[in-house]
Each structure stands twice: as C-alpha cells, then as structure tokens.
C-alpha cells in the first residue's frame, strides 16, 4: 500500500509538470475533436501525429498519444448520441439508447451521463491498473484460445438480448454479420473466401466501413426519407445536464459497467470490445421494465459508456506489463514507444518507472480534463442539432468519406460505405436491427480464429472446451442463458420483453 | 548541441533553396514525398520507415510522409506503389516478404520484385530469433532441435499469418532442420507471444524487434539468433553458428524502392538522403536499440539492393513453394 502511494506520488510528480499537463490536455482535446468527427479515428490521428512527437521526451509524447486514444473514445460517444454514428466498435451500443434520448430532446442528459459515467469508470480503472496491474496479467495468461472462444460464444448470446424486435430477425442479423466477417483471405491457408476475385475484398470488410455505412449513411437516408423526425430533435433541447433523479437511476449501471469493462479490458485478445455489449445486455436483463431499452433508457447509456471507458483504460495493462497490444491502437502505441527508444514489455515497470507511473497518473488527470472539456461542450454539441439538416448531412457525409479514406487510403472503402448505407436503409425499412449484425461481425471473425486455433492445438478434439475449467464455465453460463431464452414457459414473457410496442 | 543547431540552419538553407528554385528538374523535391509502408502502423517495418523518413526529410528539405497501405502480406501496398508515377514523389519501404517471399506465396502477384522497381537502398535488417516457451524441456539449441525433430506433429509452432516474416522464416527453419511441427496461426505476433507465454504453443521464429522485450523480461526463452554476430540488444543469445545450426542465417531486411523509371538525378538524391539518414547518430542508435542492424557501406546502395532482391527471391521460392504445395 505504501508502495502504491509512493509510486502514484512519483507518477503525479511527473504528470503534473507543466509540459506534461499541457501535452495531456492537448492529447485529450485532439482526441475529443477527432472522436467527434465521424470517421476520423484515433489510429489515423496517432499515426499522423507520431512524427511531431519525435522532438518531445518519451514520457510527454506517450502521455499525449494516450490522451488522444481515450479522448477519442470519449468523443466517439458524442457522435453516437447526436448523429447515430458509432466511431468505434465500443460505441455501437451507445447509439441504441443514446440516440433515442437525443430524439426525445434529452441529448444533453445523454451526453452528460456519458461524460460522468466515463469519468467515474476511468478513475476506478486507473486505480485498478496502479494497484493490481502486475498481478492481473496472470489473468491474461489463463485465457487461451479455448477460453476466448467460449467468451465469444457468450457474447453472441448477448447479441440476441440486444435486439429490439423479433428474436428470429436478430439471429438472422447475427448470422449475416458472421458471414460478412468470413469474407477475405483465410488466415491459415491464405486462400481467398467470398472475394469474387475482387482485390479490395482480399483483406475482408473493414469494421469502420460496415459500421459507418449501416449506421451513419443509413441514418442519413432515413432522415432524408422523413424529415419531420429531425424536427423533433431540433424543437426541444431540454436540460443540458442530468438531474438528481437521472443520476440516481444511472448510478448502479455505472458501477456494474465499470466492473464489467475493467475486467474484459485486461484480456489481451481484444476482450474490451465485449464490455459495452455485456453491460447493456445485463442492464436490460435485470431492469424492471426492459421495454424502455432501445427507447432512450438512461441505464443503456450509463452502463455501456462506463464499460467502454474502463476497458479503454485497462487495455493498457497487457500493453504495459506484457508488451502485447490488445488492439490496433495499442499496436500503434507499441510503435510509438519503440520509436522513442522504450521497449514495451515486462521490463517497463522496473526499467522506466517514470514512464509507467507517469502515464498512469496522466490517465486520471486526462479523464478529469475530459470531463472539464466535455461538460461545457455539451451545450455546444446540442446546439449543433439546431443546424438545419440540409446543411448537416453533407458535412457528415464528407467527414465520413474523409475518415474512411484515411484509414487504409483505399478509394473502394468510400464506395463501400455507400453500399452498406443502402443495405442498412433496406434493413431498417424491413425491421431488421443493424446492431446484432455488427456484433456478429466483430465477434464472428474472432470466434472463427479462436475456434480453429483451439482445435489445432487439441488436434481436432472438441473436448478441450470442456476440459479447461474457465472455458467450460463460460459455456455452461451461455447454455443456461440460452435455455432460459428458449424454454416455452418463459417464452411468452420474453416475447413481451423483446417485441417493441 | 551546436551540431544540431548547424543542422537546423542547414535545413533552413535547404528549404529556402527549395522555395527559391521552382519548377526546374534540379529542384527535386519541391513538395512532400510519400513513402508507402505496406504494413499497419506500429510494426517493425513501420517503425524503421518512420525513423529513416524523419532523417531523410531533414536532408531533402521536404517532408517524407508515411502512408500505411496494409494488406495481403504487404503486397497490396507494394502493388499500389509499383504503379505510381516514377517521379520520386512516391517511394516505398519494401521488405523481405514483399520483395523476397511474395512471388512464391501469392499467385497472380502484379509486380516482379527484381524488375518492377528502381532500388534505392537497404535501410535496416532485423535479425530472426528462435524463441520457445519457458518450460520447453531443452537447455540449448542442440537438444531443442532434437526435441523438435523427434516430436513431429506433437510440437506446436506459432506464426503470424501466411506471408508474415514468422511464417516464411519458420518454414525455412523446418526445411533446414527437417522438422514437421503443427502450425498454429495467429493474426500478428502479439497474440502468438501471449499464447507462448501461457505455454499453449512451443516455439516460433520472429524478428528481434518483436520478441526482445519478452526475452529480456524472462517470459519466453531464446535459443539462438540467426545472424553471423550476436546482437547488442540480446548479448546472451548465441548465434545459430555458435549454437550448432550454421545453415540457418536469416534477417528480415527493410529497403527503400521507387517505381521503375526514376530519373537518374532524382534517384541519386534519394540514395544520398538515405545514406545520410543511416549515418545519422540518432537514427543509428534507435535502430540498434531495437535490435536491428544498420547495413555496412558494401551492403548499401541500389546495385547491392538489386543483388539482394534477386538472391532472396531465388532463396525463398523453392522452400516456400514446397511447403505451400505440400499442405494442399
């Protein structure tokens, strides 16, 4: 404990230097801005800003780059709520209730809740990294391919819970998502699957392309279809910040979301992506009146938002302690560290204590700054909704196109968002939900990979999923949830739960 | 300190010169140069490209901007770069995979490593290290080789996907040693290392940049490094020659190429800028810290690179073809 305090003291003494404070602020600000611009993601931004950091000392540079990363997570929720475009896989869920809240004139409350929930989760996650970072890496090593596969299966069962409409349609969407995920070059054999000989499909469909098309472009088409719904958003803005009743309602969700998000974030196999989904599923399941979900339930924003920020924070644990990047942004952070002459890995904590603890302290300061940056901005963002839609949608379209192009510099990606936009529009018209499709897409690819790897290691023997206690436990839990969903006696009430009035 | 100052002044001078003399052929470069890196940002090739590009920018007086075009083992980016106008404003960072192993692995490759490019020069090498899980029951390389050979398909070998460095160098290793382990595929080195630390897979061969932190951190162990000399980044790891596998010498090299048909004076300027970057103390230091090697005078330059590409294609093609055909 005294060690922890001494270490945190060291961290704050470094993070509170004038230069590092300024860099942290700059990172958070840039992160928020790119998060808010639909499509421009943290990967492109960090890659672009990397050369600028050459002249800085490594600690300051990494504090700034980390700030961009979690700032973007923060900002991404803003677009999810205001214009229904998830910037990252982790903010897909926020669109479900967040955007509904905005439509009901409660955009300010949704944004405020997201900001406060994220700040709380960030604080807890920072403390968690500081106190338990090293021992927690053991958890990462318990998770082999079999465990990850079981985790992904559980995730897909959650996807069923996400659905607003009929279960059958949700399952269909999940399967389509998995199908999309299997497009591209097969990892093991190098053979192309379902690419129709088209070169740009060789690496599969990009998540951002799919998400932006299905959510962003489809949303624009839908709005142009009947403009009166936009007017509802514009008419009334309402309160800007959550009131006492809102906070009371959201608090338990924030607590649960933080625990779920932090735990999944520690897993190096990109477990953080499941956090918001899991949190939402649990909130909906334990709610007294689940029908509110999907129609602007504040818990549906508070839980996933805290899970997403906690996960963003704790995903630094595998990076800093194992040297293993759990996702593409973290891989870029590894590159940034190596360029600055720091070798990420088990040695960072002992060899570069200044960097390790300085970064941890800066994460908390960064979260505080984000709260300070974002709360006053809520008014501004909400006012953005007053901008006439005929001016707004070309801007959104432009930013989406620029953002998508900046990811891989491939023109076909831009055409692809148009294609998926039309697909998304058709799906909405037919009453299919895009969220389960996206979850199926994200999890499908991982699931296939882990399944094949687990079976390669067991030489084709499926008993491996039952022999390993963690994997067996997760699968058992999944089976219970699934059985509960399919039992005829429960079915009637379930249909009431899942069918939107 | 003074040298930095004078260098800054020199840069200013160059920049001013570039501004003063527009539109003449001598004026190259007049605008930023794009360097296509065919891999995602953050990996070894990207890091080396950024280090070199930074110093090249200073001596060229124009920014060398990195553009990451990842996909299909790096061949997507290189194909795109090979089709760019050869005016010196689009160059690329090729590597062992894209300019050595690719013809054997990718049918219908749209470029020929030896014919579609004007080589500029070798930038850096990253030696290959043979690593294994900590509890692999073999104290040194010799016993390890015995275990891998006699273990057959019971041994698990990790690699980071078809076309990756760990894939080609792993296949080369197996063909030299005569081993037939089960291949376990990962999407990138990170997850493979994680499973190795947890003891799920037995061994792999990969670039020193990727595995050095885990080796020094004691979470995995290294049997040998596949270079003629030991690396200062891992001084305790013996070379393959010392440890008893002299035939396995391999390094993932990174080199700058331009599309075929570059004007001679432009090529000369790029060549000089790259050479200068490799002389820069800071760049050199960073590359060495990563465990990389800086090419010697004899290894640098367009002619040496052309030779390297030809010998690499000749080296990889039969080994990889045999392995790929054997698995189908």
Same domain, B118 and B263: yes
Same domain, B93 and B234: no
Residue B142 in any domain: the answer is: yes
- Two structure tokens written together for B325: 């055909």
Instruction: Spell out the long-range contacts of B208-212 with Cβ–Cβ below 8 A and sequence spacing 24 or more.
Output: B208/B126, B208/B127, B208/B128, B208/B129, B208/B233, B208/B234, B208/B290, B208/B291, B208/B292, B209/A338, B209/B44, B209/B47, B209/B126, B209/B290, B209/B291, B209/B292, B210/B44, B211/B129, B211/B131, B212/A343, B212/B129, B212/B290, B212/B291
Name chain B contacts of A464, Cβ cutoff 8 Å. none
CB contact A165 to B (< 8 Å): no
- Axis crossing angle, helix A411-429 with helix A389-408, rounded to the nearest 10: 130
CB contact A412 to B (< 8 Å): no
More confident residue, B184 or A332: B184
- The closest alpha carbon to B194, from A150, A268, A263, belongs to A268
DSSP β-ladder status, B33-37 and A192-193: unpaired
Please give the interface size between A and B, counted as residue pairs whose CB atoms are below 8 Å apart: 140
Helix (H) or strand (E) holding B189: helix B189-197
Domain final residue pick, B231, B250, B269: B250
Helix (H) or strand (E) holding B15: helix B2-20
Of A142, A202, A456, the CB nearest to B184: A456
Rounded CA gap, B71 and B255, in Å? 18
CB B191 within 8 A of CB A267: no
Name chain A contacts of B185, Cβ cutoff 8 Å. 187-188, 452-453, 456
Helices in A182-298 by DSSP H: which ranges? 207-211, 218-225, 228-235, 244-266, 275-286
- pLDDT value at residue A419: 94
Q: Is A343 within 8 Å of B41 when comparing Cβ atoms? A: no
* Chain B residues 280-299 with a CB less than 8 Å from chain A: 285-286, 289-290
- Residues with Cβ < 8 Å from B218, sequence gap 6 or more? A346, B134
Same domain, B283 and B235: no
* End-to-end C-alpha distance for chain A, whole angstroms: 53
Residue range A230-282, pLDDT digits in tens: 544 554 556 667 888 888 889 999 999 999 999 888 876 666 778 888 898 88
- pLDDT value at residue A489: 47
Which of B11, B38, B39, B42 is the mutation pick for testing A, counting most A CBs within 10 A?
A: B42
Residue range A170-218, pLDDT digits in tens: 889 989 999 999 998 887 777 788 888 887 787 788 887 888 888 888 8
CB B121 within 8 A of CB B255: yes
Residue range A323-334, pLDDT digits in tens: 777 777 787 787
Domain final residue pick, B216, B250, B284: B250
**Chain A nearest CA to B105, separation (Å):** 8
Of A203, A269, A323, the CB nearest to B214: A323
**Chain A nearest CA to B73, separation (Å):** 10
- The closest alpha carbon to A43, from A335, A368, A418, belongs to A335
Same domain, B121 and B135: no
Q: Kindly compute the dihedral angle of the four CA atoms of residues B130, B131, B135, B140, in this order, to the nearest 10 degrees.
A: 30
Helix (H) or strand (E) holding B125: strand B117-133
* Chain B residues 24-43 with a CB less than 8 Å from chain A: 40-43
- Two structure tokens written together for A62: 């990494």
Nearest chain B residue to A269 by CA distance is B191
Q: Is B195 within 8 Å of A54 when comparing Cβ atoms? A: no
- pLDDT value at residue A488: 52
Name chain A contacts of B285, Cβ cutoff 8 Å. 341
* Chain B residues 224-283 with a CB less than 8 Å from chain A: none
Helices in A267-387 by DSSP H: which ranges? 275-286, 299-314, 316-317, 328-339, 348-351, 353-384
Q: Express as a percent the part of chain A with pLDDT over 90.
A: 18
Number of domains chain B is built from: 2
In the predicted model, is pLDDT for residue B328 greater than 50?
A: no
CB contact A195 to B (< 8 Å): no
Helix (H) or strand (E) holding A147: helix A145-162
Of B51, B156, B190, the CB nearest to A331: B190
Q: Is A145 within 8 Å of B42 when comparing Cβ atoms? A: no
Rounded CA gap, A226 and B4, in Å? 62
- pLDDT value at residue B20: 41
User: In the predicted model, what is the mean pLDDT of chain B?
Assistant: 87
Q: Which residues of chain A have pLDDT under 70?
A: 1, 38-40, 51, 87-88, 133-134, 137, 159, 161-165, 226-240, 268-271, 346, 408, 485-501
- Residues with Cβ < 8 Å from A310, sequence gap 6 or more? A121, A122, A124, A125, A257, A258, A260, A261, A262, A265, A275
Number of alpha helices (DSSP H) and beta strands (DSSP E) in chain B: 13, 9
3-state SS class at A115: helix
Helix (H) or strand (E) holding A69: helix A58-83
Count of residues making up chain B = 328
- pLDDT value at residue B6: 47
* Chain A residues 350-389 with a CB less than 8 Å from chain B: none
Domain final residue pick, B187, B215, B250: B250
Rounded CA gap, B218 and A198, in Å? 45
Q: Is B193 within 8 Å of A51 when comparing Cβ atoms? A: no
Nearest chain A residue to B182 by CA distance is A456
Same domain, B71 and B217: no
Name chain A contacts of B182, Cβ cutoff 8 Å. 456, 459
Rounded CA gap, B92 and B75, in Å? 12
More confident residue, B85 or A270: B85
Residue B34 in any domain: the answer is: yes
CB contact A189 to B (< 8 Å): yes
Range of the domain at B291: 2-126+253-323
Rounded CA gap, B205 and B207, in Å? 7
DSSP states along B210-256:
HHHHHHHTTSEEEEEESSSS-BTTBTTSPBHHHHT-TT---EEEEEE
Rounded CA gap, A112 and A371, in Å? 9
Q: Is A408 within 8 Å of B71 when comparing Cβ atoms? A: yes
Q: Which CATH number belongs to the domain containing residue B45 in this structure?
A: 3.40.190.150
CB A271 within 8 A of CB A151: yes
**Chain B nearest CA to A152, separation (Å):** 16
In the predicted model, is pLDDT for residue B21 greater than 50?
A: no
Q: B2: pLDDT confidence band, cut at 50, 70 and 90? A: very low
Burial (CB count <10 Å: 0-12, 13-18, 19+), residue A3: exposed
Of B188, B217, B290, the CB nearest to A347: B217
**Chain B nearest CA to A188, separation (Å):** 6
Whole-angstrom CA distances from A288 to A185, A280, A295, A371, A466 are 46, 14, 15, 31, 35
Nearest chain B residue to A44 by CA distance is B41
Name chain B contacts of A334, Cβ cutoff 8 Å. 42
Range of the domain at A108: 2-498
Nearest chain A residue to B285 by CA distance is A341
Radius of gyration of chain A (CA): 22
Rounded CA gap, A387 and B319, in Å? 63
Residue range B124-163, pLDDT digits in tens: 999 999 999 999 999 999 999 999 999 999 999 999 988 8
Q: Is A346 within 8 Å of B191 when comparing Cβ atoms? A: no
Number of domains chain A is built from: 1
Residue range B31-54, pLDDT digits in tens: 899 999 998 777 889 889 988 998
CB A148 within 8 A of CB A450: yes
Which of A203, A323, A330, A348 is the mutation pick for testing B, counting most B CBs within 10 A?
A: A323
Rounded CA gap, A341 and B42, in Å? 13
Q: What are phi and psi of B134, to 5 degrees?
A: -60, -40
DSSP states along A445-470:
HHHHHHHHHHHHHTTT-TTHHHHSHH
Q: Is B200 within 8 Å of A338 when comparing Cβ atoms? A: no
In the predicted model, is pLDDT for residue B13 greater than 60?
A: no
Q: Is A199 within 8 Å of B156 when comparing Cβ atoms? A: no
3-state SS class at A127: helix
Rounded CA gap, B157 and A200, in Å? 30
CB contact A184 to B (< 8 Å): no
- Axis crossing angle, helix A488-498 with helix A469-486, rounded to the nearest 10: 80
Of A141, A336, A344, the CB nearest to B213: A344
DSSP β-ladder status, B117-133 and B251-259: antiparallel
Rounded CA gap, B187 and A472, in Å? 25
Q: What are phi and psi of B23, to 5 degrees?
A: 55, -10
Rounded CA gap, B34 and B29, in Å? 11
CB contact B321 to A (< 8 Å): no
Residue B328 in any domain: the answer is: no
Report the half-sphere exposure of B261 (CA within 13 A, side-chain side): 10
**Chain B nearest CA to A153, separation (Å):** 19
* End-to-end C-alpha distance for chain B, whole angstroms: 60
Which of A343, A442, A447, A452 is the mutation pick for testing B, counting most B CBs within 10 A?
A: A343
Q: Is B68 within 8 Å of A54 when comparing Cβ atoms? A: no
CB B37 within 8 A of CB B45: yes
Same domain, B202 and B303: no
- Axis crossing angle, helix A18-36 with helix A353-384, rounded to the nearest 10: 40
Which of B194, B215, B222, B282 is the mutation pick for testing A, counting most A CBs within 10 A?
A: B194
Q: Is the ipTM of this complex over 0.85?
A: no
CB contact A322 to B (< 8 Å): yes
Which of A320-329, A346-355, B5-14, B88-97 has the highest average model confidence (pLDDT)? B88-97
CB B87 within 8 A of CB B32: no
CB A20 within 8 A of CB A14: yes
Rounded CA gap, B249 and A89, in Å? 42
Residue B199 in any domain: the answer is: yes
- Axis crossing angle, helix A18-36 with helix A42-49, rounded to the nearest 10: 140
CB A289 within 8 A of CB A260: no
């Amino acid at each position: 404990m005294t060690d922890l305090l001494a270490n945190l003291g060291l961290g704050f003494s470094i993070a509170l230097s004038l230069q590092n404070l300024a860099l942290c602020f700059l990172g958070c600000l840039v992160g928020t801005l790119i998060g808010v611009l639909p499509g421009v993601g943290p990967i492109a931004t960090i890659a672009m800003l990397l050369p600028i950091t050459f002249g800085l000392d490594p600690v300051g540079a990494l504090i700034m780059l980390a700030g961009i990363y979690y700032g973007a997570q923060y900002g991404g929720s803003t677009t999810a709520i205001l214009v229904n475009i998830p910037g990252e896989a982790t903010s897909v869920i926020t669109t479900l209730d967040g955007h509904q809240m905005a439509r009901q004139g409660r955009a300010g409350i949704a944004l405020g809740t997201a900001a406060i929930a994220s700040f709380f989760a960030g604080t807890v996650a920072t403390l968690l990294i500081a106190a338990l970072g090293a021992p927690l890496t053991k958890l990462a090593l318990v998770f082999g391919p079999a465990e990850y596969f079981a985790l992904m299966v559980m995730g897909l069962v959650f996807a069923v819970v996400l659905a607003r409409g009929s279960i059958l349609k949700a399952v269909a969407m999940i399967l389509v998502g998995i199908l999309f995920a299997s497009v591209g070059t097969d990892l093991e054999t190098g053979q192309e699957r379902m690419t129709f000989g088209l070169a740009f499909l060789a690496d599969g469909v990009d998540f951002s392309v799919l998400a932006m098309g299905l959510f962003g472009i489809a949303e624009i088409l839908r709005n142009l279809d009947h403009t009166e719904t936009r007017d509802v958003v514009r008419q009334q803005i309402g309160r800007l910040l959550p009131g006492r009743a809102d906070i009371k309602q959201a608090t338990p969700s924030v607590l649960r979301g933080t625990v779920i998000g932090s735990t999944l974030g520690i897993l190096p196999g990109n477990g953080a992506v499941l956090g918001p989904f899991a949190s939402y599923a649990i909130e909906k399941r334990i709610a007294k009146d689940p029908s509110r979900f999907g129609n602007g339930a504040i818990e549906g924003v508070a839980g996933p938002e805290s899970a997403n920020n906690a996960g963003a924070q704790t995903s630094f644990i595998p990076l800093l302690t194992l040297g293993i990047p759990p996702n593409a942004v973290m891989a870029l952070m590894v590159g940034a560290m190596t360029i600055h002459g720091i070798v990420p890995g088990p040695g960072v904590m002992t060899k570069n204590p200044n960097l390790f603890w300085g970064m941890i302290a800066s994460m908390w300061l960064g979260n505080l700054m984000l709260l300070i940056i974002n709360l006053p901005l809520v008014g501004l963002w909400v006012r953005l909704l007053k901008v006439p839609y005929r001016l707004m949608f070309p801007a959104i379209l432009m930013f989406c196109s620029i953002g998508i192009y900046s990811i891989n510099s491939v023109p076909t990606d831009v055409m692809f968002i148009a294609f998926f936009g039309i697909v998304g529009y058709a799906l909405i018209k037919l009453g299919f939900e895009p969220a389960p499709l996206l979850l199926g897409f994200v999890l499908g690819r991982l699931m296939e990979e882990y399944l094949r790897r687990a079976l390669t290691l067991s030489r084709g023997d499926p008993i491996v999923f039952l022999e390993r206690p963690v994997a067996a436990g997760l699968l058992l839990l999944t089976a219970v949830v699934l059985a509960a969903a399919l039992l005829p006696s429960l079915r009637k009430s379930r249909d009431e739960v899942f069918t939107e009035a | 300190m003074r040298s930095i100052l004078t260098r800054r002044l020199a840069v200013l001078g160059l920049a001013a010169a570039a501004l003063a003399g527009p539109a003449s052929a001598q004026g190259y470069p007049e605008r930023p140069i794009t360097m296509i890196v065919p891999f995602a940002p953050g990996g070894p090739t990207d890091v080396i490209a950024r280090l070199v590009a930074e110093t090249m920018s200073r001596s060229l007086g124009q920014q060398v901007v990195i553009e990451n075009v990842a996909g299909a083992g790096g061949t997507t980016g290189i194909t795109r770069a090979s089709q760019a106008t050869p005016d010196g404003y689009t160059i690329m960072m090729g590597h062992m995979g894209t300019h050595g192993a690719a013809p054997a692995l990718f049918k219908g490759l749209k470029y020929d490593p030896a014919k579609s490019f004007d080589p500029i020069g070798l930038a850096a090498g990253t030696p290959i290290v043979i690593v294994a899980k900590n509890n692999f029951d073999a104290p040194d390389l010799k016993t390890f080789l015995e275990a891998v050979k006699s273990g057959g398909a019971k041994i698990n070998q990790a690699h980071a996907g078809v076309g990756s460095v760990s894939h080609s160098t792993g296949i080369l290793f197996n063909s030299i040693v005569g081993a037939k382990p089960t291949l376990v595929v990962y999407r990138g080195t990170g997850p493979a290392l994680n499973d190795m630390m947890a003891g799920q897979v037995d061994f792999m061969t990969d670039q020193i940049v990727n595995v050095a932190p885990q080796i020094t951190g004691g979470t995995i162990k290294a049997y040998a490094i596949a270079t003629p000399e030991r690396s200062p980044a891992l001084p305790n790891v013996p070379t393959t020659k010392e440890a008893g596998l002299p035939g396995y010498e391999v390094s993932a090299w990174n080199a700058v190429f331009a599309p075929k048909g570059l004007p001679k004076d432009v090529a000369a300027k790029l060549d000089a800028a790259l050479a200068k970057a490799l002389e820069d103390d800071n760049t050199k230091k960073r590359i060495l810290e990563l465990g990389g090697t800086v090419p010697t005078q004899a290894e640098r330059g367009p002619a040496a690179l052309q030779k390297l590409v030809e010998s690499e294609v000749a080296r990889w093609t039969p080994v990889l073809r045999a392995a790929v055909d054997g698995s189908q």
